[in-house]
A = this chain, B = another copy of it.
């Protein structure tokens, strides 16, 4: 079960922090950067777009290698990073694994950038 790693920002309380300190604290920045790092690779962005465009919002791993012209180990590596970052979920059915977007994950990443 994947959980959405939100990029929501907890603004530093105005009463306590000097104004020159960042609204985004170190811990929140670490969480946000981890998700954005998973998104910062061209192959991973293309994998997400294929999965999103797939029938029923999912794609079989067997259909993810050819479009990107990458080897299966490389694709698996990228998919693992996306799963670990909470952006994709993986479900094994029979021989193949199927990937789908974690609901709300891309929306949370997008909102986190606006909330900086």
Contacts and interface: CB of A to CB of B under 8 A. Distances in A.
> Can you tell how many copies of this chain the complex includes?
2
Given A52-B116, A106-B116, A107-B114, A24 B37 contact: no
Given A106-B113, A113-B110, A116-B52, A26 B40 contact: no
B32 A42 contact: yes
A68 B22 contact: yes
Interface residues of A, number: 40
Interface centre among A39, A48, A63 (most CB of B within 10 A): A39
A102 interface: no
Contact of A42 (B21, B30, B107): B30
Contact of A116 (B23, B30, B48): B48
20 contacts: A21-B50, A22-B46, A22-B49, A22-B53, A22-B67, A23-B49, A23-B52, A23-B53, A24-B49, A26-B42, A29-B46, A32-B45, A33-B44, A37-B40, A39-B40, A45-B116, A49-B116, A106-B113, A110-B110, A110-B113
